Structure 1
């Protein structure tokens, strides 16, 4: 385990890395609400995955403390986030990685930072995430074990209240607690923890990059902390709606990669082969008619 009590080389600066891909008007709303989310000076890096709506990005880059990083290719969410964090010097010890289709509640970033001081072993901190209709999204979940993951994948659509899904999603009264992983749509990272596990695994183009990172942060001796006293609203689905079939395929590929990474060796090959066939069948059903 990591020795998390050692002095850090990082300063106390706060930065926000926004991974963009055709963000449109969402980006301006994100930046407008971010201004009221903290009383601190916050540096913003727009890590752009080869968008072509330059007007929205150029307008955003005209704002104070906003830097536009044109990556020049689509690295996916985790890869783009890593490039954005790499732009920051060591004075930034706190880094938010977020989607642009978020609205921050006033003071919410400061609430996350206050929670980080209460949890010295906390490596990642996630707010309560609301859907546009006000319902709470289950953004702090258990890690998907093989049995729980299969049960959730098979029954979630046809039997939403099944025990595997209920256990996995951890839908209960909001409380500040340690979780297995946190939604990648908005997380505050202790820079020392993020860098200690080398950030996101860029092999995950979309989906499960947050699950994988939460697992590795926990294995390294840090904690993933859910902070429901801080809240954001996630509009969701803008980037993925551009190519829904491609995104569904990426989801299933990432699900298999996550399980295969954690179940290695000859004994697991028949199980993984069956999982791959099951995921392929599920993808075919979900994309039929799209």
Structure 2
């Protein structure tokens, strides 16, 4: 079923999934939502297909019709692949413009399956804490293994640590390390993965939609930072559990295959994040910290004969995309629709 987005008066939640060539995973995700959607009266799901060019539209449309999901699931094809922020905005923008926009928006990856009570746990938490603008689920891998991470904002110190990989330095910089291992308690955090992230409507009204200058990566980090600067907090809510298969659309973060060379859009997004939010001088220090730390790591890796698990040409690619060789804030140029 492909149709224009419709929001009913009673709708409290709009779930947005952006698909790019993962049609079968979207169907599995919708199937996991079938019972959970009933816990939130009037909740709707919109699947934005980012011009996949494969059989995704047909596969998702057929599943919606065959399974009788038309009352709560809608497919919204886009004419271009504008990236993650673009795809989410493609559904969120018209929903915000309705007479009675949803109270909450849940960004949900196509490679996820929600566990029982996941939606209600997030909504209950947000209802009970009106000062919270963003909340996120805890994750598990396909085999049920916990993936208990939320994140701190990137900084000079986190970039140095991630590049250098030296135990004594990591201990000294522990409070700046981006990935934070979470326990089973609700906790305020800097930013949350966009794989399952609930956003209060008023956050969009405060800071606008997600930044479409990012194609992929860093956009949810940037969004959470803008929300923080506007006075909203972000919280990790472990009672909401979601299974997430990492890296299925891009392969960049996939854990079941050798590391790939990072795509150009990853470097553009990284540079955009630091330049936009911290300026040229800070970004230059970030690049110096990472390049020097990673160079030392590569020498130590060879001397200690450690396995090479880094993406191919990582050092050269990072230098080519540093602020010393590229000027200005990267912004993808997209045609309007």
| 1:274 has 2:288 as partner | yes
C-alpha distance in 2 between matches for 1:71 and 1:193:
25
The aligned residue for residue 4 of structure 1 is none
Distance in 2 (CA, whole Å) between partners of 1:146 and 1:16 is: 35
TM-score of the aligned structures, taking structure 2 as reference length: 0.73
Residue in 2 that maps onto 1:7: none
Question: Is 1:17–1:96's contact at 8 Å kept on the other side of the alignment?
Answer: yes
3-state SS of 1:217 partner: helix
Consecutive unaligned residues in structure 2, runs of 5 or more: 1-8, 254-258, 299-309, 315-337
Q: 2:59 aligns with which of 56, 78, 81?
A: 56
Decide whether the 8 Å contact of 2:271 with 2:283 is kept in 1.
Answer: no
Corresponding residue for residue 137 of structure 2:
127
Name the residue aligned to 1:67.
74
Task: Find the aligned partners of 1:151 and 1:276 in 2 and give their Cα distance.
Answer: 8
1:99-127 Cα deviation digits (max 9, x unpaired) = 11101101210111001112111111101
Superposed counterparts of 1:1-290, under 5 Å: 13-38=12-37, 39-40=39-40, 41-51=42-52, 52-53=54-55, 54-62=57-65, 63-64=69-70, 65-88=72-95, 89=98, 90-155=100-165, 162-163=170-171, 164=173, 167-241=177-251, 248-264=263-279, 267-268=281-282, 270-271=284-285, 274=288, 286-288=311-313
Q: Distance in 2 between matches of 1:269 and 1:108?
A: 38
How many angstroms apart in 2 are the aligned matches of 1:273 and 1:136?
33
CA 147–176 in structure 1, closer or farther in 2 if over 3 Å, else same: same
- Alignment length (residue pairs): 276
Q: 1:97 Cα shift?
A: 0.9
Distance 1:154 1:211, change over 3 A: farther
What 5-or-longer segments of structure 1 have no aligned partner?
1-9
Q: Distance in 2 between matches of 1:150 and 1:260?
A: 17
Map Cα deviations across residues 173-221 of structure 1 (whole Å, 9 max, x no partner): 2310111000011111111113321121111111111111111111111
Conserved 8 A contact 1:206-1:247:
no
- Could you tell me how far 1:55 is from its partner in structure 2? 2.2
Q: Larger Cα Rg: Structure 1 or Structure 2? A: 2
After TM superposition, give the deviation of residue 287 of structure 1 in Å. Answer: 2.2
Answer yes or no: is the 8 Å Cα contact 1:11–1:91 preserved in 2: no
Q: RMSD of the alignment, in Å?
A: 3.1
**Which structure carries more relative contact order (alpha carbon 8 Å, separation 6+)?**
1
TM-score by length of 1: 0.83
Decide whether the 8 Å contact of 2:163 with 2:291 is kept in 1.
Answer: no
